């Protein structure tokens, strides 16, 4: 059995520094900026070469052979509203913490007060920001903060206790403005916005690096944060520090370029279809979406029935073709286009990947590590060895089942007379898997869509949150400006009716301007220092962003079950951010939590999609109000473990063992510029992780944003690591009795008060094993992988 052992070893310079610091407990060199959750992604976060000071941004799990999983990236913060009186209305605020006049005065520009990025506001002015505002706002802000930073640098040695709060305020003010800009790039991208960001980003990074080099004192900071400081070069000698900082800046630039290439390559591909025979099998929802795309591209008379239709590489369109198109040639064309995205011409990411890997290795050597994986693991629970051990345990438990799954598909397709039965390829697997599942369980996921309308799903999700965690969620549309008319805004209240958090929800795909995947993003964290009224803490605000099927015609967004799981997943991330009870901004919510445990709350929430009462509360036919038939629910439950072996090898709950293994291999053994290419490494890993070998031209690495533009470098394994924790956490509810509402509420409250509430706020001697400490407090024992294997139907295989 694999046990989750956490990394408490001290290595090299890091070990010496940490031991001295812990023994002296008086003076700690620490990074002010990056907590382990920098999303999504975009949670996509960038660590340690973060472009922001904190946060998580999650592109998260869209079930598909796409690579649009939970990307963590930081696009943080803005001043958050907090109640200014005893009124519990969601619209009660205190004054803003940003002062546009002071910034404008510092910058010496009378026109700046009209810049929406520099005005006072309660919520970000997403609807008013234009590209022309970006450059002057960032430069004015940096200029206004310069004197404060210089003063801190001058007095840090002699007057530290009084400098902690001013430093946090500097970080927050920059994060407010930069967070707005960076978020808009993710959801409303344009070449002009990219250019503006690229122009001012070096100035922002230079300022940021000065901030992270300031020294920190105090015993309330986590050991993981101490490690981050070392990994950010805080303790380097001056002759190495400049070089290290240049590496940081270049890595940030390359990561941004990588992601832009992926987005541009995805947008570039369009397949116009005029003959309905070519798209036979596509469900009505997909046809409607393809026609709607055609209309947006100038085909004004396009209809779902008669076309024309445009197929794209955006996840909903791509997956519809892979799962339902009878035209094998079309499936092959779309699949090949997808796995070769951003691998040729001006958008080729191959060179960028090699340069990123080279710089990461160079950075590791400067820090006296053998490879970048060791750098990454320094702030995680796992070690390289333990991560590899877990992946091998799951690989071996899944392999025989995956081999049998492929044989079952061949036999099934042969019985139906498929000409490709003896030569199934990648573009056949999803199609025949859906047909087999329909046959085996009499479930057609497309036919289930009418039972999963977005309004009903959200109502059921919010009712579940009320049952588990005692919170009320109410719509607050119009209270905060939004970046698109589809965006919803919500207020979260405690049992007394007092607002405790807010969040935005942007549900639908917009392939022309919005990056793919799904993610949760921190807008602003809970903070005592940044309280508006000087008494209650500033309240947290979050983004939840998905890319699901939009409404078509007069119908609401009708979701696949996988899209339902995605919304529950992202909401789990948001809950940990919003329900924190930590008032210290640097360790509140998702900040300071070990990266390989960050998926615990999100994957925990996915389990409730299979809970009968929860599922039946959301599965209501959008026209008739009829509940999902009981026999269909039972089939859906049985289908949960369908092809469990292959799903574990390809992507169980947002992780592909192949991808996690390639990630570790590239960051441990691969030598950039050596005799082997990145594609050689991928093929070698695929031999032991993938029953069906990848195509010779497969270039999925060129679209693997998680590790080259997000926060998962040498950390992609963490999806499965955290899934062990989440499955075990859910088993606490199973043990208590899922039908016992009182027990469920009591267990939910315990989950809230431990996993969700504590954030990173524990003393350093406890927090180097923080997640395990909190998990044991909730569960009563250390985590076990058995509940996960049981949920995936692999327990017997694993123990045989």
Q: Catalytic positions, please?
A: 570
C-beta separation of 294 from 302 below 8 A = yes
Please count the helices (runs of H) and the strands (runs of E) in the chain: 30, 9
Cα Rg, the chain, nearest whole Å: 25
Candidates 726, 770, 475; CA nearest to 600 is 726
DSSP code at position 108: T
In sequence order, which residues have a C-beta less than 8 Å from that of residue 44 and are 6 or more positions away?
A: 56, 57, 58, 59, 71, 72, 73, 74, 519, 705, 706, 709, 710, 711
Find the largest Cα–Cα distance for the chain.
81
In sequence order, which residues have a C-beta less than 8 Å from that of residue 131 and are 6 or more positions away?
A: 190, 192, 193, 196
Q: Phi then psi for 73, rounded to 5 degrees?
A: -150, 155
Burial 647-668 (b: 16+ CB within 10 A, else e): bbbbbbbbbbbbbbbbbbbbbb
Q: Phi then psi for 322, rounded to 5 degrees?
A: -60, -35
- Look at the alpha carbons of 595, 597, 601, 605 in this order and tell me if their dihedral is positive or negative: positive
DSSP code at position 450: G
Strand ordering across the sheet containing 519-524: 472-475, 488-493, 499-508, 541-548, 519-524
The DSSP bridge pattern shows strands 541-548 and 499-508 to be parallel
- Residue 534 Cα distances to 84, 95, 255, 450, 527, angstroms: 10, 11, 39, 49, 11
- Measured between alpha carbons, how far apart are the two ends of the chain, in Å? 12
88 forms bridges with which residues in the sheet? none
Integer Cα distance of 398 and 644 in angstroms? 8
**Coil, strand, or helix at residue 524?**
strand
DSSP code at position 218: -
472 forms bridges with which residues in the sheet? 493
Q: Phi then psi for 645, rounded to 5 degrees?
A: -60, -50
- Crossing angle of helices 315-324 and 328-339, rounded to 10°: 140
Integer Cα distance of 359 and 325 in angstroms? 43
C-beta separation of 290 from 311 below 8 A = yes
DSSP code at position 237: -
In sequence order, which residues have a C-beta less than 8 Å from that of residue 503 and are 6 or more positions away?
A: 489, 490, 492, 523, 541, 542, 543, 544, 574, 578
Instruction: Name the H helices within 232-283.
Output: 238-268
Integer Cα distance of 506 and 650 in angstroms? 28
Integer Cα distance of 193 and 172 in angstroms? 22
Identify the residue whose tokens are 């892979």. Answer: 322
Integer Cα distance of 440 and 442 in angstroms? 6
Burial 264-287 (b: 16+ CB within 10 A, else e): bbbbebebebeeeebbebbbebbb
């Amino acid at each position: 059995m694999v046990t989750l052992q956490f990394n408490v070893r001290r290595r090299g310079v890091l070990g010496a520094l940490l031991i001295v610091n812990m023994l002296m407990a008086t003076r700690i060199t620490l990074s002010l900026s990056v907590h382990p959750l920098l999303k999504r992604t975009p949670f996509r976060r960038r660590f340690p070469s973060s472009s922001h000071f904190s946060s998580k941004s999650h592109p998260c799990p869209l079930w598909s052979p796409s690579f649009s999983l939970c990307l963590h990236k930081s696009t943080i913060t803005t001043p958050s509203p907090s109640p200014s009186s005893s009124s519990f209305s969601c619209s009660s605020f205190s004054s803003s913490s940003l002062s546009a006049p002071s910034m404008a005065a510092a910058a010496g520009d009378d026109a700046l007060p009209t810049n929406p990025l520099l005005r006072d506001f309660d919520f970000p002015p997403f609807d008013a920001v234009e590209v022309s505002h970006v450059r002057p706002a960032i430069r004015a802000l940096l200029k206004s903060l310069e004197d404060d930073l210089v003063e801190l640098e001058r007095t840090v040695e002699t007057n530290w206790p009084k400098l902690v709060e001013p430093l946090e305020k500097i970080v927050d003010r920059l994060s407010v403005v930069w967070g707005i800009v960076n978020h808009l790039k993710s959801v409303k991208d344009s070449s002009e916005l990219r250019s503006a960001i690229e122009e001012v980003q070096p100035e922002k990074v230079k300022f940021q690096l000065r901030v992270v080099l300031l020294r920190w004192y105090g015993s309330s900071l986590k050991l993981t944060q101490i490690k981050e400081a070392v990994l950010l070069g805080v303790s380097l000698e001056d002759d190495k520090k400049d070089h290290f900082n240049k590496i940081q800046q270049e890595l940030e630039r390359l990561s941004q370029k990588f992601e832009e290439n992926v987005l541009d390559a995805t947008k570039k591909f369009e397949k116009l279809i005029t003959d309905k025979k070519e798209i036979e099998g596509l469900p009505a929802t997909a046809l409607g979406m393809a026609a709607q795309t055609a209309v947006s591209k100038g085909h004004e008379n396009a209809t779902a029935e008669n076309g024309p239709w445009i197929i794209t590489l955006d996840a909903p369109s791509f997956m519809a073709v892979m799962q339902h198109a009878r035209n094998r040639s079309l499936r092959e064309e779309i699949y090949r286009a997808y796995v070769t995205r951003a691998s040729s011409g001006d958008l080729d990411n191959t060179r960028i990947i090699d340069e990123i890997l080279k710089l990461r290795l160079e950075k590791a050597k400067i820090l006296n590590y053998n490879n970048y994986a060791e750098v990454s693991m320094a702030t995680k629970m796992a070690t390289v060895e333990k991560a590899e051990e877990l992946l091998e345990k799951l690989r071996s438990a899944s392999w025989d089942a995956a081999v049998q799954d492929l044989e079952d598909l061949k036999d099934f397709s042969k019985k139906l007379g498929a000409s490709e039965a003896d030569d199934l390829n990648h573009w056949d697997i999803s199609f025949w898997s859906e047909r087999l599942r329909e046959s085996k369980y009499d479930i057609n996921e497309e036919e289930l869509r009418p039972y999963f309308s977005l309004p009903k799903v959200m109502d059921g999700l919010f009712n579940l949150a009320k049952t588990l965690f005692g919170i009320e969620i109410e719509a607050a549309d119009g209270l905060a400006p939004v970046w698109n008319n589809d965006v919803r805004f919500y207020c979260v209240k405690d049992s007394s009716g007092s607002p405790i958090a807010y969040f935005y929800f942007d549900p639908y795909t917009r392939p022309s301007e919005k990056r793919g995947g799904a993610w949760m993003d921190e807008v602003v964290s809970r903070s005592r220092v940044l309280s508006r009224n000087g008494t209650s803490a500033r309240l947290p605000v979050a983004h939840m962003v998905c890319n699901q099927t939009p409404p078509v015609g007069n119908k609401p967004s009708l979701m696949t079950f996988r899209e339902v799981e995605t919304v529950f997943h992202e909401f789990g991330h948001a809950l940990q951010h919003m329900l924190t009870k930590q008032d210290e901004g640097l360790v509140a919510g998702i900040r300071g939590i070990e990266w390989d445990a960050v998926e615990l709350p999100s994957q925990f929430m996915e389990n409730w999609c299979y809970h009968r009462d929860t599922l039946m509360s959301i599965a209501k036919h959008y026209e008739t109000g009829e509940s999902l038939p009981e026999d269909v629910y039972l089939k859906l439950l049985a289908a949960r473990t369908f092809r469990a072996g292959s799903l574990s090898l390809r992507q169980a709950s947002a992780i592909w063992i192949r991808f996690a293994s390639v990630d570790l291999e590239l960051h441990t053994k691969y030598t950039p510029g050596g005799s082997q290419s990145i594609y050689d490494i991928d093929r070698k890993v695929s031999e032991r992780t993938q029953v069906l070998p990848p195509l010779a031209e497969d270039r999925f690495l060129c679209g693997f944003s998680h590790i080259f533009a997000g926060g998962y470098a040498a950390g992609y394994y963490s999806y499965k690591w955290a899934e062990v924790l989440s499955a075990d956490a859910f088993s606490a509810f199973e043990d208590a009795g899922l039908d016992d509402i009182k027990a469920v509420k009591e267990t939910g409250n315990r989950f809230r008060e431990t996993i969700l509430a504590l954030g990173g706020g524990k003393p350093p001697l406890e927090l180097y094993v923080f997640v395990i400490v909190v998990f044991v407090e909730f569960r009563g024992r250390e985590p076990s992988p058995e509940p996960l294997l049981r949920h995936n139907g692999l327990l017997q295989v694993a123990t045989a």
